[in-house]
Amino acid sequence: MASNSFNEPPSTTKVYFETMIARQLYINNSKKPQIAIIAILFSGSIFLLLTPFDLEKTLLVAMVILSFSFSILSFVNRDKNIPFAVNFNHPLMSDEPMGEAQVFVWLSADNKWALLQESRVRLIENTLLGGFDLVYDDEDYSRIGHFSLNHKITTKIRRSMLLLNQAIVLANLSNQEDVEELSIAEDSERRIREKQDSELLERSWLEDEQEIEIEGPLAKFLSKE
């Protein structure tokens, strides 16, 4: 299991951006921005063609188009490096999980992946090493690892934490449903076995009773003999 590269998450897992849900959101959210970029490129080209050539004006229009396009692309691609991964049983990957859902988080400051437990997580400042530690949101704030060397919580980090906690909640719900379904299935199987055992016992009792009724007169006859 790879554990020292963000580009190589643990085996049988996908980083958030590669999950089924994230890819669909990306496709849906990128359509309008792509149209907007094409529209501004077209408008800029028409403006330059209809006005006398001026180098400064051309450079200004080009800078505006590039800045606008870069801003839109940055927004669309903001989830490409969200630092967590899920296994194939997670609801983000499959509508019908076949086993336990798991969530792994990438600790960039520690340069490793860590498997998370059921509890939600939060960030606390690491005064010794700088940056922020990732901890469980429990009474003891149990430490998971050194999450980031950033000195402040950026918009990207805030969004990463939001999506990470959502993934943990989804995993917990999925695992609870699996446990309940397993319990129901086991209970159903137990009831079927009990019914079968009861039917076998009843059949055996009836057979014994018939044997007693048949053997009874013969025994009396033999006793008379």
Token look-up 């001026």 returns 54
> Per-residue confidence of the chain (225 residues) as pLDDT tens digits?
456 788 889 988 999 999 988 988 888 877 776 677 777 777 777 877 777 877 777 787 778 778 877 777 777 778 889 999 999 999 999 777 678 999 999 999 999 999 999 899 999 999 999 999 999 999 899 999 999 999 999 999 999 999 999 999 999 999 988 555 545 445 556 555 655 555 555 565 555 555 545 444 444 434 544
Residue 61: enclosing H or E segment and its boundaries? helix 55-76
Residues 85 and 90: their CA atoms lie apart, in Å, by 10
Q: Distance between the two ends of the chain, CA-based, in angstroms? A: 85
